[in-house]
Amino acid sequence: MASEQGTYYVPEQSKLPIFASLGLFLTVFGAANWMNGNETGPSIFFCGSLLFAFVLWTWFSTVISENMAGLNDAQVKRSYVWGMGWFIFSEVMFFAAFFGALYYIRAFSVPWLGGEGDRGSSNMLWGNFEAAWPLLTTPDMALNGEAALVKGAGQPMGWQGLPLYNTIILLTSSVTVHFAHDALKADKRKAFNYWLGASVLMGIVFLILQVEEYIHAYQELGLTLETGVYGTTFFMLTGFHGAHVTLGTFMLLVMWLRSVFKGHFKSDDHFGFEAASWYWHFVDVVWVGLFIFVYVLGS
């Protein structure tokens, strides 16, 4: 396809978008059934995940082959930049919605339920409810005297220990990704592989420590998805972020494998790595917000 900037490469028709949509549908459908106790949920979830992973592998392999063959000119590469930019923007809006929900709950809903403001009538319905954050019980539980049934009630997740260690690890990994980028632009392959490998390792360590944190929350603090709205928002925000860290770690790992075993990326042509690094920096910034508003100010 001709343009003022030159020839725009248009790939052949593909059925991959259809299979990608099917894989995403099965993944979400399976996850919903899994959370609702349906025995078929895990099987559907993993089948959908495998199908989607296969589509991504095939799709990205095709794009890489096209770029290595010189089919992607400057115009195509600009479209990749804009595509990744809009993708990260959509992720920003995704987390903005969850942070907004946390703010609304803390600043408005909980005080209203406690009898403050225009919603003071709530005090007639839940007279025994005390508006405090972190909220580990529901108003109905307080009304029925069920707060004592919540194991570990009154023990929110603090910011010391594992959350602090994970913050240091993730911020350090962002620095090492930057060092890797600088090394690649300077055409220092060994340094690039070293710094990128260190970043991947820190991403894996972060995920391991987050699993340890969840085990600690469930077994020792009694903090679960059912432990009031605090438990729900805590696991919702940190869980979705953990999923993004998993994806980002996998992206960086693929870039490292491509560099080590295939010798991919040039000092002036490495958008695949740049896109992964942008995503990783975005994940790090979100974690800073989580650490401040969920761990430090939320406990």
Give tens-digit pLDDT for 133-143: 777 666 666 66
Which residue intervals of 105-138 are DSSP H helices? 110-113, 122-125
Q: Which of 120-124, 170-174, 215-219, 230-234 bottoms out in mean pLDDT, i.e. has the lowest?
A: 120-124
**Confidence bin at 152 (pLDDT 50/70/90):** very low
Q: In whole angstroms, what is the distance from residue 265 CA to residue 117 CA?
A: 59
What tens digit of pLDDT does each residue of 72-103 get?
777 778 888 898 899 999 999 999 999 998 88
- Given a cut of 60, whether residue 194 has pLDDT beyond it is yes
- Given a cut of 80, whether residue 286 has pLDDT beyond it is yes
Report domain extents, the chain.
1-72, 73-296
pLDDT of residue 283: 92
Q: Which of 48-52, 99-103, 112-116 bottoms out in mean pLDDT, i.e. has the lowest?
A: 112-116
Q: In whole angstroms, what is the distance from residue 228 CA to residue 240 CA?
A: 19
pLDDT of residue 149: 42
CATH topology of domain 1-72: Helix Hairpins (1.10.287)
Cα–Cα distance list, 194 to 156, 168, 181, 197 (Å) = 38, 19, 11, 5
Tokens of 80: 């990749």
Three-state DSSP state, 2: strand
What mean pLDDT comes out for the span 257-281? 85
pLDDT of residue 3: 43
What mean pLDDT comes out for the span 186-215? 92
Mean pLDDT of the chain: 82
- Given a cut of 80, whether residue 240 has pLDDT beyond it is yes
Q: What is the pTM of this model?
A: 0.81
pLDDT of residue 158: 64
What mean pLDDT comes out for the span 182-201? 92
pLDDT of residue 277: 92
Look up residue 251 and give its amino acid: M
- Given a cut of 90, whether residue 272 has pLDDT beyond it is no
Q: In whole angstroms, what is the distance from residue 196 CA to residue 242 CA?
A: 20
- Given a cut of 90, whether residue 36 has pLDDT beyond it is no
Strand partners, 3: 6
CATH topology of domain 73-296: Four Helix Bundle (Hemerythrin (Met), subunit A) (1.20.120)
What mean pLDDT comes out for the span 209-217? 87
Tokens of 148: 């004592």
pLDDT of residue 10: 74
pLDDT of residue 298: 67
pLDDT of residue 150: 45
Q: What is the percent of the chain with per-residue pLDDT over 90, rounded to a whole number?
A: 34
What mean pLDDT comes out for the span 178-199? 92
Strand partners, 2: 7
- Given a cut of 70, whether residue 157 has pLDDT beyond it is no
- Given a cut of 50, whether residue 151 has pLDDT beyond it is no
